[in-house]
């Protein structure tokens, strides 16, 4: 499984993490191409069903990247997203999946380097877990 290249979906807040990803690009800091970014107006918009659907359709890992605590443009969308991620972690445990396949991260718009680092670390973690059960059966849909 050494050549396993995971498919990873990252739901990124327009106001922080997405801009941090942009910042990483501007500064020519590379991060794994495994990470496919979906820009959202606020991570509070990312519901539990979006995380489940990503996994169902073959993503090996999914993370939500929102604003730092207290910095949400819409007051507490990042906290809502955190709750959704925690809920899905518990569901995955019940299903016998590794809960580490979903994660919550927090960045400010200026944290390009940290964004790239987070993407690298998450990709490494998913590589160590191996392909998800769904990605092996339904194929790559992301």
Partner 1 sequence: MITAEQKPLQEIFGYIAPYEKILVVGCNECVTVCAAGGRKEVGLLSSALRLHSVKAGKKLEVLEHTLERQCDPEYVDQLKELAGQVDAIVSLACGCGIQTVAAQYAIPVFPGVNTKFMGASESQGIWAERCMGCGDCMLGVTGGICPVARCSKSLMNGPCGGNSSGKCEISEDVDCAWQLIWNRLVELGIQDRYEELVAAKDWRPAGGGGPRKIIREDLAASKIITEDMA
**Which positions lie near partner 1, rule CB under 8 A?**
47-49, 52-53, 55-56, 91-92, 94-97, 133-134, 137-138
CB nearer partner 1, residue 41 or residue 133: 133
The pairing of beta strand 102-106 with beta strand 8-13 = unpaired
Nearer to partner 1, 56 or 69 (CB): 56
Residue 84: how many CB atoms within 10 A of its CB? 21
Q: How far is the CB of 84 from partner 1 (least distance, A)?
A: 10
Could you give the CA distance from residue 131 to residue 55 in angstroms, rounded to a whole number?
11
Closest approach, Cβ 97 to partner 1, in A, equals 6
Nearer to partner 1, 50 or 112 (CB): 50
Q: What is the DSSP string of 93-139?
A: HHHTS-GGGEEEEE--TT-HHHHHHHHHHHHHHHHHH-S-HHHHHH-
What minimum distance in Å lies between the beta carbon of 134 and partner 1? 5
Q: Retrieve residue 101's tokens.
A: 């396949």
Alpha carbon distance 54, 40 (integer Å): 15
Nearest distance in Å: CB 90, partner 1:
10
Cβ-based nearer residue to partner 1, 68 or 138: 138
């Amino acid at each position: 499984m050494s050549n396993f290249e995971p498919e990873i979906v990252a739901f990124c807040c327009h106001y922080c993490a997405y801009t941090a990803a942009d910042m990483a690009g501007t500064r020519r800091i590379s991060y794994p191409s495994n990470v496919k970014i979906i820009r959202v107006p606020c991570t509070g918009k990312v519901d539990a069903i979006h995380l489940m659907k990503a996994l169902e359709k073959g993503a090996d890992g999914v993370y939500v990247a929102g604003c730092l605590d207290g910095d949400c443009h819409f007051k507490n969308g990042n906290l809502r997203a955190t709750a959704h991620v925690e809920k899905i972690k518990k569901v995955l445990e019940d299903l016998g999946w590794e809960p580490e396949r979903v994660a919550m991260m927090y960045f400010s718009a200026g944290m390009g380097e940290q964004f790239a680092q987070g993407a690298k670390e998450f990709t490494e973690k998913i590589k160590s877990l191996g392909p998800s059960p769904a990605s092996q059966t339904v194929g790559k849909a992301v």
